[in-house]
Amino acid sequence: MLFDTLMLAAAVAAAATPPVPQEVAATPVAQPPGCELHVWPAERFSSMTTGLLGGGLLDAAIHADTDKNNRTQIASALDSQGQVDALNSLDLAALLKVHPARVIVHNEPLVRHTVNDIKTRRSDSQASCYSELIVADLFYQKAAIYGRTLRALFIYRDFGANGQTATRIYKNWGGNGLKLFPPKPGEDVSAANAELTTVFKADFQEFARNEAAAQTASR
């Protein structure tokens, strides 16, 4: 009888003891593939100053030295690093209204004459979600009537899902006015250079608005 009572007590105690938890391996959660947006700066800079003659060979000859100096200063203020830094300070994917993407900048410009000819990916990335933003040209213009403007030509290329060739290409200019560039002789160039960077970003924002509008219209 005593033996039966002891066995019953042991069984009750064992039932009351919580089981030792077993470690279960976590099931990995599938993550969507990350999107990449690759960015290249412009290789080419140009300047055109026109006076009352309204352009032409004579006007170009008169302002040849001025335009040469302007190109040199723009290339200094907005060199490859300056361009990618300016663009990288913006939320490019949000402005373009595309998939959130990891922005990968390339400091070495693409060879200009190949930009339109090559439709395949310009990087060796194999990301399944892939797009490109190329700055093709930076163009300063001073006209007797319209004043001073910095224009930038951008190309956005979307490769779709796992595409190796661009399925959608949008190419357009952005252009905004300048007040400080080019600086007068003896003036501090830092303010004019800062203005070039600010206006370059405004040019992209204008381009992005137009690209997003074109994207919406095509749906």
Q: pLDDT tens for residues 125-176? A: 999 999 999 999 999 999 888 899 999 999 999 998 899 999 999 999 999 9
Q: Per the structure, how many domains does the chain have?
A: 1
What's the mean pLDDT in 76-99?
A: 95
The model's confidence at residue 50, banded by pLDDT at 50, 70 and 90, is confident
SS3 20: coil
Confidence category of residue 117, pLDDT binned at 50, 70, 90: very high
CA distances in angstroms from 48 to 52, 61, 82, 148, 184, listed in the order given:
13, 11, 22, 10, 17
Residue 4 within a domain: no
User: What is the residue range of 90's domain?
Assistant: 34-217
Where residue 7 falls among pLDDT bands split at 50, 70, 90? very low
The tens digit of pLDDT for each residue in 12-45 reads 444 444 444 443 333 333 334 589 999 999 999 9
Flag whether 3 is in a domain.
Answer: no
Q: Has residue 20 been placed in a domain? A: no
In a domain, 115, yes or no: yes
Residue 215 reports pLDDT greater than 60: yes
The answer to whether position 101 is within a domain reads yes
In a domain, 2, yes or no: no
Q: Kindly state whether residue 13 falls inside one of the protein's structural domains.
A: no
| CA–CA dist 95, 211 (Å, integer) | 9
The predicted structure's pLDDT at residue 33: 53
Q: Reduced to 3 states, what is the DSSP secondary structure of residue 54?
A: coil
User: ω before 28 within 30° of 0 (cis)?
Assistant: no
Give the three-class secondary structure for 156: strand
Q: What is the mean pLDDT of the chain?
A: 85
Whether residue 28 is contained in a domain is answered as no
